[in-house]
Copies of this chain bind each other. A is one copy, B any other.
Amino acid sequence: MRSPATNAELALLLEVAGTPKPGNVDRHREYPDLRFEHFLAGAVGAGEGFRAAAEGTPLGEAFERAIAGMSEQRGGNTQFGAVLLLVPLVRAAAEDDLSPAGARAVVRGTTVEDAVDFYRAFEYVDVTVGDRPDGIEAPDVRRGGDAAPTLEERGLTLADVMDRSASVDGVAREWTSGFPRTFGAAEWLLEGDDTDPVPDRAAEAFLRLLADRPDTFVATQHDEATAREVTERARAARKGDGGETPDALAEEFVRRGINPGTTADITAGGLFVALERGLDV
């Protein structure tokens, strides 16, 4: 049986192999500077951090290690959000409680030290971060390790930090709410036709997630209106009435530089949960 850490690597690989995933790098579409191979290297590079998470290394440290490994390729930020989603799930799986409650317990158990290491991870790659709305009281992640004194002074745990971003970041929202969309996507993946290739099922789950709720990364990278448009277009493409197709959307979104990255992150999380629950590859 594959270990949780190996399944986490595999989830990242199956996510990027799924096609078409409108706007994102996949097996058939890439950007000149962000290519399929960068995601392959990112996935295996994150492995050591996943193994650390499974073995009980503090979550923030395991995450930082995963990001250090992920970033050893020339594409830059390939899977930062997906790794952030996966690390607590790997820990929960290793503790034999991969459930919303188990994942919540892992999140609740995070410390100020985990928050410090989380901030340090931002030093390895450029992560697209939007202007923070008023009322967010955690330090700007772009401060990296320099945020440590502020985090310590205010006693902010990693769970607290996620809580502060949940309104603007879909991955943080999963962290603070028992990973509902992640576990939901896993259900869809497990319900699918067992003989369909898994990457095809992943692409379908991606489109379904995208049609369900605006992607926060698109909102940050572009604006709220674009994020809403993307969701409406995905909804139309899912109808399959010929007016809009996933392939045409994929071409257009790549051309316009629209990357629904948060939706891809949640797809990877869903693949991980599904693999742990018996999804056959």
Interface residues of A (CB under 8 A from B): 1-3, 6, 9-10, 13-14, 17, 27-28, 35-38, 40-41, 43-45, 47-48, 69, 72-74, 197-199, 280-281
Contact = CB atoms under 8 A, between A and B. Distances in A.
Contact of A40 (B14, B45, B73): B14
A6 B48 contact: yes
Given A28-B28, A45-B6, A47-B47, A37 B74 contact: no
B281 A10 contact: no
Contacts of A13: 13, 40, 43-44
Contact of A37 (B36, B44, B197): B197
The dominant DSSP class at the A interface is helix
A36 B27 contact: yes
A44 B9 CA distance: 7
Contact of A281 (B2, B17, B69, B73): B73
A50 to B, nearest CB: 10
A197 B2 contact: no
A71 B37 CA distance: 23
Contacts of A197: 35-37
Nearest 6 pairs of A and B residues by beta carbon:
A13-B40, A41-B281, A9-B44, A73-B281, A10-B44, A27-B27
Contacts of A198: 37
18 contacts: A2-B41, A2-B44, A2-B45, A2-B69, A6-B47, A6-B48, A9-B44, A9-B47, A10-B40, A10-B44, A13-B44, A17-B40, A27-B27, A28-B28, A37-B197, A41-B281, A47-B47, A73-B281
A1 B41 CA distance: 12
A36 B17 CA distance: 8
A35 B27 CA distance: 13
A55 to B, nearest CB: 13
Given A28-B28, A35-B197, A47-B47, A2 B40 contact: no
A54 to B, nearest CB: 12
A47 B69 CA distance: 15
B37 A14 contact: yes
A277 to B, nearest CB: 15
Q: Which of A41, A48, A199 has the most CB of B within 10 A?
A: A41
Given A13-B44, A14-B40, A40-B13, A281 B74 contact: yes
